[in-house]
């Protein structure tokens, strides 16, 4: 079952209450927040009402909060291949 991945890119500050209400109904409260909703005409209509504020893509599987956070975690930037003591003296 496909899902919409919806991310709030721009804030709704200064926009009409109707726009803020649509974002609230979608579950978007803070910028860069991401939610997953099943593909349906109702959700598509809500997205069209706030299309200037959100980024939308269609994905096959909705991710949990922990799974989504794990995908955003960067690499540590380094890898330890051998312990330092073995690198200096290979006979240990």
36-51 confidence digits (pLDDT tens):
999 999 999 999 999 9
> Strands 3-8 and 54-59: what pairing?
antiparallel
Report yes or no: 53 and 60 within 8 Å, Cβ to Cβ.
Answer: no
87 has a pLDDT exceeding 70? no
pLDDT band at 20 (very low <50, low <70, confident <90, very high): very high
11 has a pLDDT exceeding 60? yes
76 has a pLDDT exceeding 70? yes
pLDDT band at 92 (very low <50, low <70, confident <90, very high): low
Q: Report pLDDT for 75.
A: 78
Report yes or no: 33 and 26 within 8 Å, Cβ to Cβ.
Answer: no
């Amino acid at each position: 079952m496909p899902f919409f991945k919806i991310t709030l890119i721009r804030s709704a500050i200064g926009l009409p209450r109707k726009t803020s209400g649509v974002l609230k109904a979608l579950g978007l409260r803070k910028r860069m927040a991401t939610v997953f909703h099943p593909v349906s005409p109702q959700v598509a209509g809500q997205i069209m009402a706030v299309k200037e504020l959100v980024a939308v893509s269609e994905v096959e599987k909705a991710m949990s909060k922990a799974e989504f956070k794990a995908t955003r975690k960067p690499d540590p930037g380094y890898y330890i291949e051998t312990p330092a003591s073995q690198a200096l003296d290979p006979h240990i």
